[in-house]
Amino acid sequence: IDSAPVRLRFPPEPNGYLHVGHAKSISLNFGLARDYGGACHLRYDDTNPEKEEQRFVDSIADVMTWLGWSWQSNGASHRYFASDYFDFMYRAAEHLINAGLAYVDEQSADEIRANRGDFTCAGVHSPFRARTAEQNLSRFREMRAGKHSDGAMVLRAKIDMASPNINLRD
């Protein structure tokens, strides 16, 4: 267990080379971790296998070393790949569905955006929000099995559609 008092991360997507903005983020995050006795995690956001390549993973590591930073801290590696946690995230999603805290929505992205409301008006519930856990679980498993086209369905958390913070609505 990482007992560092401060934990930060640098989450590059390995689908291209880093630029000067990345160098700033690396130096800021790893520098703050160093200055405050914490740890900074290098977490590759490798969630789009169609665009990612090993050469970019290697290049990111090379740039970090060239900048003088390491993902090693207190004898432990803090280098991770988001894809290493897909099974855990899938199980967590099924848990949220079974607990009635998430649902599979079949609205288009534009419909979801419109139904969220705005800063002056509350959002409205999706017509798919009231499905049973069993119905949602079935559709979610179909999504994972590739039975639906990409983007046709999305898993959403059941959150207060009247929240004054529009970002905290379903």
pLDDT in tens, the chain (170 residues): 556 689 999 999 999 999 999 999 999 999 999 999 889 999 999 988 889 999 999 999 999 999 999 998 878 899 999 999 999 999 999 999 999 999 999 999 999 999 999 989 999 999 999 999 999 999 999 999 999 999 999 999 999 999 998 888 88
What's the predicted TM-score (pTM) here?
A: 0.76
Question: What CATH fold (topology level) applies to the domain 99-168?
Answer: Glutamyl-tRNA Synthetase; domain 3 (3.90.800)
Domain residue spans in the chain?
A: 7-82, 99-168
As a whole number of angstroms, the distance between CA 136 and CA 38 comes to: 40
Contact between 97 and 134 under an 8 Å Cβ cutoff? The reply is no
What radius of gyration, in Å, describes the C-alpha atoms of the chain? 20
Domain made up of 7-82: CATH architecture: 3-Layer(aba) Sandwich (3.40)
Q: Which residue has the tokens 């280098």?
A: 79
The end-to-end CA distance of the chain, in Å, is: 33
